[in-house]
């Protein structure tokens, strides 16, 4: 990493700071009455999380980078943009299993971005890949009697996800709950945010089948679409897809929809890593950045 600021950085910083100062000056002069009114009424207004006003009145510009850290805590940047760029620099151009160096770099980016501990390997177990093509799965029966008409929490969900249908068989670990009455939110979320991974291709699976099956059951994972930065905490609730499909994992309709991934000729890759969450603190579902 260079120790000295480059010429282009110094030039741009000076130029853009000056531009903003001029804009601020013009803004406050031209619309003085409105800002004076705002200032005198600010106690009556709920000025809180509003980045909108903060950015206008912030004195950080002439101070950059000295006070940047404090400002950044108040006004978070679009982390997705950083994530996309950082991953673009690390990932290979073709979709293939990552080598150990790439894997380490990706984990560092994900740890840093999402503030959680992600692992390619846990308890000596790893998947065949952490970077692969994701395919579309169907809904899974959560309890005996669950069907496509009783499956959804809201009419909107039904309208959106009904078309994907129910898988003809049960998940690799059968039902998520014994009955509708005993089904918890966690059970329901495990089906909603599930992925199917190729457990059977994990190195060592055949030699330690029961240990692996137990390990993978509802194992929490982080799935990231590296092309749009969308990420979700999901769980492993099924095994698949078959190797011949050319796909490496499958996502529930809810997972695919959120990640904006599609099956068939439009299929695209995702990153998927185990999450080390021994106290089960992290909830399944989309992650906001």
Partner 1 sequence: MKHKHFYSHLIQSTDITLEIAELDIQKQERVNLLSLFEVNIHASVVSAVLDELSPEDKKIFLKHLSEGNHKKLWQHLNQKIKNANRKIENTIKRVKKELLEDIQEAKKLKKKSKSF
Nearer to partner 1, 42 or 184 (CB): 42
User: Tokens 């809201």, residue?
Assistant: 154
| 167 contacts partner 1 (rule: CB under 8 A) | no
Please state the closest distance from residue 5 (CB atom) to partner 1, in A.
6
Tell me whether residue 110 is exposed, middle or buried, using C-beta atoms within 10 angstroms of its C-beta: 0 to 12, 13 to 18, 19 or more.
buried
Residue closer to partner 1, measured from CB, 58 or 208: 58
Indicate whether 185 belongs to the interface with partner 1 (CB under 8 A). no
Phi, psi of 222 (to 5 degrees): -100, 125
Provide the minimum distance between the beta carbon of 254 and partner 1 in the complex, in angstroms, as a whole number. Answer: 15
Measured from the CB of residue 72, what is the shortest distance to partner 1 in angstroms? 7
The two three-digit tokens of residue 50, written as one number? 């509003």
In terms of CB distance, is 74 or 245 closer to partner 1?
74
Using the rule CB under 8 A, give the single segment among 4-12, 98-106, 165-173, 198-206 that binds partner 1. Answer: 4-12
Stretch that binds partner 1, among 24-32, 157-165, 166-174, 236-244 (CB under 8 A): 24-32
Minimum distance, C-beta of residue 13 to partner 1, in the bound complex (Å)? 7
Nearer to partner 1, 41 or 123 (CB): 41
In degrees, rounded to 5, the angle at the alpha carbon of residue 257 between the alpha carbons of residues 104 and 270 is: 20
Q: Is 122 in the site for partner 1 (CB under 8 A)?
A: no
- Return the HEC string of the chain: CCCCCCHHHHHHHHHHHHHHHHHHHHHHHHCHHHHHHHHHHCCCCCCCCCHHHHHHHCCHHHHCCCCHHHHHHHCCCCHHHHHHHHHHHHCCCCCCCCCHHHHHHHHHHHHHHHCCCEECEECCEECCCCEEEEEECCECCCCCCCCCCCCCCCHHHHHHHHHHCECCCCECCECCCCCCCCCCHHHHHHHHCEEEECHHHCCCCCCCHHHHHHHHCCCEEEEECCCCCCEEEEEEEEECCCHHHCCCEEECHHHHHHHCCCCHHHCCEEEEEEECCCCCCCCCEEECC
Minimal distance in Å, beta carbon 31 to partner 1? 5
168 lies in the site for partner 1, by CB under 8 A: no
147 sits near partner 1 (criterion: CB under 8 A): no
Site for partner 1 in 39-98 (CB under 8 A): 41-42, 45-53, 55-56, 58, 60-61, 64-65, 68, 71-72, 75-78, 81-82, 84-85
Q: In this complex, which beta carbon is closest to partner 1, that of residue 27 or of residue 242?
A: 27
Count interface residues toward partner 1 (CB under 8 A). 56
Residues within the interface to partner 1 (CB under 8 A) = 1-2, 5-9, 11-13, 15-17, 19-20, 23-24, 26-27, 30-31, 33-35, 37-38, 41-42, 45-53, 55-56, 58, 60-61, 64-65, 68, 71-72, 75-78, 81-82, 84-85, 288
């Amino acid at each position: 990493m260079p120790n000295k600021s480059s010429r282009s950085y110094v030039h741009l910083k000076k130029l853009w700071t000056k531009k903003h100062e001029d804009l601020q000056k013009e803004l406050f002069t031209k619309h003085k009455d409105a800002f004076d009114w705002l200032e005198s009424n600010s106690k009556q207004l709920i000025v809180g999380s509003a980045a909108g006003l903060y950015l206008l009145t912030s004195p950080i510009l002439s101070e950059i980078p000295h006070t940047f850290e404090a400002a950044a805590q108040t006004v978070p940047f679009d982390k997705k943009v950083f994530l996309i760029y950082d991953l673009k620099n690390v990932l290979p151009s073709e979709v293939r299993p990552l080598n150990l160096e790439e894997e380490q770099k990706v984990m560092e980016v994900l740890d840093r971005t999402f503030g959680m501990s992600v692992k390619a390997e846990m308890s000596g177990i790893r998947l065949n890949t952490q970077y692969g093509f994701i395919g579309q799965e169907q809904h899974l029966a959560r309890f005996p009697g669950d069907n496509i008409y009783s499956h959804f929490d809201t009419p909107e969900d039904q309208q959106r996800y009904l078309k994907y249908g129910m898988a003809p068989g049960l998940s690799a670990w059968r039902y998520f709950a014994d009955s509708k009455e005993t089904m918890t939110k966690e059970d329901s979320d495990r089906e909603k945010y599930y992925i199917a991974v190729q457990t059977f291709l994990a190195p060592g699976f055949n030699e330690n089948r029961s240990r692996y099956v137990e390990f993978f059951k509802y194992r929490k994972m982080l799935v990231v679409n590296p092309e749009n930065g969308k990420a979700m905490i999901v769980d492993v609730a099924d095994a698949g897809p078959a190797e011949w499909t050319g796909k490496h994992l499958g996502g529930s309709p809810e997972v695919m929809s959120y990640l904006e991934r599609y099956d068939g000729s439009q299929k695209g890759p995702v990153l998927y890593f185990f999450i080390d969450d021994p106290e089960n603190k992290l909830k399944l579902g989309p992650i906001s950045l």
